[in-house]
Amino acid sequence: MSVPTVAFTTPPSYGARLASLLALKGFNPISSPTLIVQPTPSTISALKPYLSPPPSLDLFSAIAFPSRTAITALSAAAADINHPLLSPHGDAFIIAALGKDAELMDDNFVHKLSSNPNRVRILVPPTATPSGLVEALGDGRNRRVLCPVPVVVGWLSLMWSRIFSEIWRPSVGFRLGLMRTRRGGPDRGALSKWWRGLRRERWMRWCSRALRRWRAY
């Protein structure tokens, strides 16, 4: 019995977990990412001025992370900063992420933000969508929210702007291009090979059925 194949276009940052889950369910996973989102030296450099005074994260009330890559990019930008990014005193500072992305906001991440972990509040909306994140943030009350969004390369600009426009709607949002998003992926050839094989297999089955009908006739 042949193993069913599932091809998926998830970005690499999520693809490994999806592939392992599919394999556990008995599928043959083929990854062919159509999007690649990753930090670059230039985007990380653009973030660093907002991690050290002046200005600093104390100018904001929250950070809304739209992806795992945004969290890892901020961690990379803060890696060589020797002091906490927030003062230990002040109003609660919200760090928000979607779904399992919040796993990256562990104790080490929180302590990097502030020496007073009680000041940092982790927010994970019940619905892992930009709209769910907006609803979880609540009334804006003129707060400033830092939202590390991708710098889009190519035809996806309109799509990303529509998705992330919801994140800073309830507050005074500050968009910062922290990652680059581009098309394509290293495994597109695997998907093409699988598709050619599938078409060949279907063609052979059709020929076999046609031959049986001809013989029966």
Distance CA 171, CA 169 (A): 6
In tens, the pLDDT along 119-165 reads 999 999 998 887 788 888 887 777 888 887 766 655 444 444 554 45
pLDDT given at position 193:
58
In tens, the pLDDT along 49-73 reads 878 775 578 888 999 888 888 898 8
Torsion angles phi and psi, residue 57, rounded to 5: -65, -15
Mean pLDDT for 97-114 is 93
Q: Got the DSSP string for 153-178?
A: -STTHHHHHHHHHTTTTTTEEEEEEE
Q: Which domains does the chain have, with CATH numbers?
A: 5-34+185-216 (no CATH), 36-183 (3.40.50.10090)
Across 7-21, 35-49, 60-74, 167-181, least confident range: 167-181
Rounded to the nearest angstrom, the gap between the alpha carbon of residue 61 and the centroid of all alpha carbons in its chain is 22
